[in-house]
Amino acid sequence: MRSAGWSRLVAEAGEEAERAGAEGAAAEAARLVEKLQAELAEVRSAARSDLERQRAESEDVRREADSLRRRLRSLESDTRRAQAETRKVAAELEAVRAQAAAERSAAESEARRLRHRVTELENAAEQNRRSAREGRSVEDMRLRLLLDTVLQSAQGLQRELALPVSQIRPADLVEAVVPGAASPHDVARRGLAEDDPALLDQLLAIPQVHLVVDGYNVTKTGYPTLPLEQQRIRLLGGLAMLAQRTQAEVTCVFDGQDLDVPVIMAPPRGVRVRFSRTGETADELIRRLVRAEPQGRPVVVVSTDREVAEGVRKAGARPVASVLLLNRLARP
């Protein structure tokens, strides 16, 4: 199969193959260089990007550090101011404590002085009371000596003049209702109506009778439309004439706890006018007036109030209705 010139052909083919191999290696090397250059460019670009990012981060860190330093300086300044304010407040507190201690010491000293003064005054008062008791004992002795002298003189005069001995005993001087005598409680047996003016005449005819009138209870029953001042004037005028005719002791009581200003008035002749005190009703004042009378004295209370009537009846007084007094005042 070896044709002519085969060796030359083989040599040419070998040279061709070597040339093709060299060109392929060069091309491959060129491609590798281009690839490496592209990778190098990418690495450089990435490095530049990382460098710029790191620079930006470094700048942010620097700015944050500056801000933190400024904040730290501000906090240090605030701390110094707070410490100075704390020292100032502590000094003021110490001054206040010192002033309070001084005031407490002064107050205790003043309290001791006042207690000492009170003790002195109590001792002086005790001495005054002792002196008063001693002086009273001397006065009592002088009075007893004078009384004994008068009694002895009276007894000697009685024996000399042969005067009879009095038969009056202490029990005869106690005021009470005597059987068969007129009293505020036995007029009902005379058969008079509770609104008959003659009943009040009989009551007021009892010796030493005391008529106590519940003023506003009477006026608001008889003429409630009038002002309070006119009610008082009209009632007191009628009571003055009644007292003049009967010679009875008359006391008119008004409720004074609702008055805005004190009442300035001249009580009519023969009539005692009283106003209840603050916090006290006229009913309570009437009961006190009744309790102030001695047992056995006839007392007539004019009031329509059932509570007042029951209270004075338990105290020994004779209650009558307001209409009874109004009918009596209306009669000439």
Q: Along the chain (332 residues), what's the average pLDDT of each consecutive run of 10 residues?
A: 66 76 77 85 87 89 90 91 91 91 89 87 80 65 66 67 55 48 51 71 86 93 91 92 91 78 72 88 90 85 91 90 90 76
Cα separation, 325 vs 238, whole angstroms: 10
All structural domains of the chain with their residue ranges:
187-330
Of 270, 199, 200, 213, residue with least CA distance to 241: 270
From residue 116, give the alpha-carbon distance in Å to each of 121, 122, 129.
9, 10, 20
| Three-state DSSP class for residue 65 | helix
Which amino acid, residue 90?
A: A
pLDDT of residue 123: 83
pLDDT of residue 238: 92
Cα separation, 85 vs 306, whole angstroms: 77
Query: Which fold, 187-330?
Result: Rossmann fold (3.40.50)
Q: Is the pTM of this model over 0.75?
A: no
- The sign one gets for the Cα dihedral 185, 190, 195, 200 is negative
In terms of phi and psi (left: phi > 0; alpha: psi -120 to 50; beta: otherwise), the region of 72 is alpha
CA 204 to chain CA centroid, nearest Å:
49
pLDDT of residue 146: 64
| Three-state DSSP class for residue 20 | helix
In 184-281, alpha helices (H): 197-204, 215-222, 228-246
pLDDT of residue 176: 45
Report helix, strand and coil shares of the chain as percent, to nearest 5: 70, 5, 25
Two tokens at 224? 């409630």
